[in-house]
Chain A
Amino acid sequence: MAVFEDWSTERAAQVIAEHRHLEGATMPILHALQETFGFVPDPAVPMIAETLNLSRAEVYGVLTFYHDFRREPPGRLVVKLCAAEACQAMGGKALAAYAEEKLGVDMGETSTDGRVTLEPIYCLGLCACAPSALVDGRLVGRLDREVIDDIAHCVANGTSFGDA
């Protein structure tokens, strides 16, 4: 399971410094911060703005434009189910409803106990082995109820998904 560092201004400054030399550094910095902390907390915004000589509004605008960037920590297990057409053609919608029921969380939400985040994703390019998912960073093709049961089991027991 992905383990993230606790927020620290020093660590964030270091991450920002590592990428500031790049052309168009905003996106690489946001990705790197999210990779480090699991999300991009609000105090990071003025830090990025100052480093790149941008306004806070500009950085905030970028942070909130892209679906991937989080401003809140994700659940311990992040489950992204493909919601695009090829997966719908293979029963993706019914599986998504099943996942909501089994995981006890609505699509696009993190459970109140912080165990799991369930989100739609628009196309993993696994359209010839649909439906597909990205579970804790692992790609899953030919998704079925059995795999969702496995995921629910991992969530309930706090164990990692995969490798079984």
Chain B
Amino acid sequence: MKSHRIFVPNDATAVACGADRVARKLEAGLLARGITADIVRNGSRGLFWLEPLVEIETELGRVGYGPVKPSDVDDLLHGGFLTGADHPLCVGVVDEIPYLKRQTRLTFARIGIIDPLSLTDYKAHGGYRGLERALTLGPAATVEEVVDSGLRGRGGAGFPTGIKWRTVAAAPADQRYIVCNADEGDSGTFADRLIMEADPFCLIEGMTIAGLAVGATRGYVYSRSEYPLAFVVMEKAIEKAREAGLLGENILGSGLSFDMEMRMGAGAYVCGEETALLESLEGKRGLVRAKPPLPAHKGLFQKPTVINNLVSLATIPVILDKGGKYYRDFGMGRSRGTMPIQIAGNVKYGGLFETAFGIPLGELVNEIGGGTLSGRPVKAVQAGGPLGAYLPVSQFDTPFDYEAFAARDALIGHGGIVVFDDTADMAGMAKFAMEFCAHESCGKCTPCRIGSTRGVETIDKVIAGERREANLAILTDLCHTMKLGSLCALGGFTPYPVMSALTHFPEDFGAAPKLPAAAE
């Protein structure tokens, strides 16, 4: 009789919700019943409200059950879930779940499907085809393929990735570096984590292609202490890639070399800023550098460095495999390709939703996200992490696009959206934005270091009703100074959440309640 294949996710979300205990319970239950089965620890499909989502391979496809608690396991085994039998927890064939089916998964095509540490699985699902094609094309044509794809930095700044690569390739040097920014500190984001935990070879392949394209032989992934599982999975994957000759000398017989290693941050949000990250990698305090010089000219240890967001690098394999034009044909305006949108906070169906640029914000929150988990009305969403604006429901028609968000004084950042219900106190959230900036400021520039603390004090005065108008004028002026005078996005973008909260929710700052707006 054919052995059963059971998938129990092991990404951080599933584990945090009890997946390890479910796996142990399942193993014991199978043993007690004398059933032989393979328990595969896959990554996660990114449908987090269903985690732990246990899947069974059947003739119809992989049938899912979730969210499974350890106490559900006996009942599932008793109910015949090994044959895909119906059960209150059954969600049917996972690939047919509308949340998954309506996505366009290019970067995240393999997550949750494969065993993250199986190179065989990775290759069976299209892995390393991108690298093979890059080797056929040669370095210069590889860079041009990335330029053609229209890929822009997925960390938030949106700078064209290919142009960065071209600059580094052209910079004369005895050593160049590839640095992956995996310091994903924004609340409401988990795309980098998911790649590292669910499809680590994809990042390794992307960095290898980058290295060969620009002539860099060394790479670093700078991740976070808050992501302990991701770090372990990546280290194991790097070791496996080395053993298979996919990292190191003479990769796939090309005569070219590239190797990489993991590095861990230490709880400093500002190290997500690329120059602070480079300082940290060099073993220093995470102080932001003034630009120029650009990292592409003088980056890590003053050598030309490609520093890209993890999602950008993990998108390289599919671009090389299918071609820049294929990727560019998704999206709108100058935002080409797909974006992994991370739906989080007070939301019914939180998870990863990769789709072409252009989808309206309201559709993401209400249709895909299903509205709030609390069942109360949505008040606002914060898009783009702690430095992103709060958007009210009246702006839910905004398409997910770099420029459309910018036109509304907002940013898409790394693609996180955090949903709040009507109990949220927006003056409190504005104050938190300033507090966070004060807590995380590297201290190098005055607007950020001092401005954030003064901002907290001033918002406190507004909340207390002390000289409200005068203090609001000071707050507005302070935000203006921080925005224009800070060295990096930490001080420069903190005004986005503060000013958007104030603009859209003045009643939370003690103003008379707004009358319902007339139709625009």
Contact = CB atoms under 8 A, between A and B. Distances in A.
Interface of A: 23-28, 30-31, 52, 58, 61-62, 65-69, 84-90, 121-130, 132, 134, 137, 139-142, 163
14 contacts: A24-B263, A25-B283, A31-B264, A31-B266, A66-B265, A67-B267, A85-B432, A86-B416, A123-B186, A124-B12, A125-B193, A127-B188, A127-B416, A129-B51
Interface string B237-268: 00000000000000000000000000111111
Contacts of B116: none
B364 to A, nearest CB: 13
Contacts of A24: 263, 281-284, 301
A59 B382 CA distance: 37
A128 B191 CA distance: 12
Contacts of B283: 24-27, 52, 62
B351 interface: yes
Contact of A65 (B51, B225, B268): B268
Nearest to A120: B439
Contact of A86 (B16, B226, B418): B418
B419 interface: yes
Contacts of A134: 226
B96 to A, nearest CB: 21
Contact of B285 (A61, A88, A125, A130): A61
B330 interface: no
Which residue of B17, B187, B301 has the most chain A CB atoms within 10 A of its CB atom?
B187
Contacts of A26: 283-284
Contacts of A25: 283
Given A27-B263, A66-B286, A128-B48, A122 B269 contact: yes
A10 to B, nearest CB: 24
Nearest to A128: B350
B182 to A, nearest CB: 11
Q: DSSP majority for the B interface?
A: mixed
B346 A123 contact: no
Given A129-B48, A163-B21, 19 more contacts: A23-B281, A24-B263, A24-B281, A24-B301, A27-B283, A28-B264, A66-B266, A85-B432, A86-B188, A89-B346, A89-B424, A90-B346, A122-B440, A126-B12, A127-B187, A129-B17, A129-B51, A139-B229, A142-B17
A122 B48 contact: no
Contacts of B346: 89-90, 130
Nearest to B51: A129
B438 to A, nearest CB: 13
Given A62-B285, A85-B432, A141 B345 contact: no
Contacts of A31: 225, 264, 266
B189 A127 contact: yes
B169 interface: no
A82 to B, nearest CB: 8
The 7 A-B residue pairs with the shortest CB-CB distance in the complex, in nearest-first order: A128-B350, A26-B283, A84-B187, A127-B344, A66-B266, A141-B16, A67-B267
A68 B267 contact: yes
A68 B190 contact: no
A128 B190 contact: yes
Interface in B410-439: 416, 418-421, 424, 429, 432, 436
Interface in B26-40: none
Nearest to A65: B285
Residue among A27, A31, A61 with most chain B CB within 10 A: A27
B435 to A, nearest CB: 10
Contacts of A28: 263-264
Contacts of B347: 128
Contact of B286 (A65, A85, A127): A65
Nearest to B194: A125
B285 A137 contact: no
B208 interface: no
A139 B12 CA distance: 7
Nearest to A90: B346
